[in-house]
Amino acid sequence: MFITLEGGEGAGKSTQIRRLAAHLAARGRPVLLTREPGGSAGAEATRALLLSRPWDAKAEMLLHFAARREHVARSIRPALAAGAVVLCDRFADSTLAYQVAGQGGDRALWDGLVQLSLDGVWPDRTLLLDIPPETGLARAHTRGEVNRYESLGLGFHSRVRQCFLDQAAAEPGRFRVIDAGQGPEAVFAAMLAALPPELGA
Ligand code: TMP
């Protein structure tokens, strides 16, 4: 079972995904908790490159997918094969939202890279933690240092949010949209209710 969390900045994904991992582990499920960009040694090194400086738009998309392929090959696929539940903080939907909708990148390139680099590994369920960018960015800024993407403007983050919502509307079988503006307890309860029934969480 491959579960991803998606959403804009300051939606609380990282905190909630840790809590979800602990919840499933306490119920005896083997869990791999991982993130993108990153999640394996090479992909974490690529994350540092991606966050440290601006890139040519196509180079940036290729770097995200290079990191993703490495992550899938070395961490996600082996964990799935071993029967673990894989919980991943961001995946390919983030590249569509940030690099294509946000930065004006090439949608056909995204489609092609999904086909070329993932060997069919794709989330079974995606929980979209949705929050207005004004609220999310304010939370991210109070949290401390902001990364290169967080410092982009409200127009960028509004396009990112709309893209995630459009993806959710286009794939209602895979996505569940959760209002991340609620308190953390309500968000977590909504996440549990949105998991596939096989997880019995
Ligand atoms: P994080 O803050 O959720 O760990 O993610 C790091 C940043 O990387 C975040 O601002 C979103 C951005 N990002 C992309 O632009 N494209 C991607 O494909 C992924 C996975 C993340």
Tens of pLDDT, residues 170-179: 999 999 999 9
Model confidence over 10-34: pLDDT tens digits?
999 999 999 999 999 999 999 999 9
Q: Is 161 in the pocket of ligand 1 (CB under 6 A)?
A: no
Q: State the pLDDT at residue 146.
A: 82
CA 26 to ligand 1 center in whole angstroms? 29
DSSP assignment string, 55-116: --HHHHHHHHHHHHHHHIIIIIHHHHHTTPEEEEE--HHHHIIIIIIIT---HHHHHHHHHH
SS3 169: helix
Averaged pLDDT score across all residues of the chain: 96
The whole-angstrom separation of Cα 134 and Cα 156 is: 11
Residue 67 Ramachandran class (φ > 0 left, ψ -120 to 50 alpha, else beta): alpha
Q: Is 147 in the pocket of ligand 1 (CB under 6 A)?
A: yes
Q: C-alpha angle 199/72/40, rounded to 5°?
A: 105
Could you tell me the two tokens for 178? 């959760």
Q: State the pLDDT at residue 145.
A: 77
Residue closest via CA to ligand 1's atom 12 equals 149
DSSP assignment string, 25-72: HHTT--EEEEESS-SSHHHHHHHHHHHHS---HHHHHHHHHHHHHHHI
Q: Is 110 in the pocket of ligand 1 (CB under 6 A)?
A: no
Which atom of ligand 1 lies nearest, measured to the CA of 14?
3
CA 120 to ligand 1 center in whole angstroms? 22
The whole-angstrom separation of Cα 40 and Cα 92 is: 16
Q: State the pLDDT at residue 109.
A: 97
Which atom of ligand 1 lies nearest, measured to the CA of 102?
15
pTM for the predicted model, two decimal places: 0.97
Q: Is 64 in the pocket of ligand 1 (CB under 6 A)?
A: yes
